[in-house]
Structure 1
Amino acid sequence: MTHFDEHEKNKKFEQFFILTFPKVKAFAWKLLHSEEDAEDIAQDIFVKLWNNPEMWENKETWDSYIYTVARNQIYNFLKHQSVELSYQEKLSQEDAPSFEFDTYDKLYAKELQLLIKLTLDNMPEQRRKVFSMSRQQGMSNQEIADSLRLSIRTVERHIYLALQELKKIILIALFFISVE
């Protein structure tokens, strides 16, 4: 870890905070659909990050670190929330196991959705754009090629590589889910 005097550390963290806090909060809000929870989680993340300057002292690694930390924090929040809801449900009725199963299914679905989003966000811009046009906008390969002035072969290659990355992350997620 690079040695900072306190003033340098404060300035660097302030810059890091200003540039990344809104992204982290928006990311959390997208998954949680709660302004208050997103704000709390984002604040918790930055308190942890303050104590770990090696995670934010290098601008090139900000995004990878921040999304990993945010993903873990949100996952832990959802897990805790699901345990709390499960406990409340057990107190109010005898049919708790099916509720618990549904809650964990939703938790894993959110986790998988988050991993997919992170994978897409970290793809090269052109690959992400091609994949979005293909899968989210329903455009044909020819339409994408014409729109972006690419060859059809290049469009097909971008889609293939994007699908490979997504398959890999889904397999990893399913492995960890089945282990838990």
Structure 2
Amino acid sequence: MTESEGQPLSNQGNFPRPFQTPDRVTSIVDNEHIVRSAFTNSPQKGFEALFRLYYLPLCSHAVRFVYTREVAEDIVGEVFYQLWKTGSYATIQHTYRTYLYAAVRHRAYNYLRDELTGNRTPASLDDIDETSLDETPQTLIEYDETFQRVEKVIHELPPQCQRIFLMSRFENRKNQEIADELGLALKTVEAHMARALQQLRRVFLPIGLFLFLPFH
């Protein structure tokens, strides 16, 4: 699926105007050059340019993998925050675009994994290995297929089981709260959660864990 780009930087502030061309690749190269030039003059200005160029497209990209715009914005915001806090913007060897899209994808999948399993893994960009950013078309297909499998399993759960699972994992409700709201016994809620997690594990195990490991 195509990753939409933001408006050219030349239309967003007092930056050099790149050569206007309909060619998408040339546009990406021009924007990359402008951002790197801005970083050379001032890290803060470079970071502001990077944020203006990619924040909205990255949010639109992340929302494909998570269930709400708010979560997508949180994920993208955290990627930018870590990028600035760690100073890793100064050592990126790939294009900024490649780095940011890959980082958002990994963080979105880690979020999905954590929400489904109930395990919380601290996320950081401190130890990113840029060799892991060399994503092939096949890797991107596997990402999409994994998400689709997870979504299919959730949608195929019995209605009551699905509702309880989503309340637990995506509304952060405790089992007792769910039981009280739905008028169910606590053990009934726990049984539904166990069933949902069992179904999801059957999806994860054949795929392998590489997609769901922390992004190091």
Q: TM-score range by the shorter chain?
A: 0.3 to 0.5
Which TM-score applies when normalising by structure 1? 0.48
Q: Which has the higher helix share?
A: 1
- Structure number with greater CO (CA < 8 Å, separation at least 6) is 2
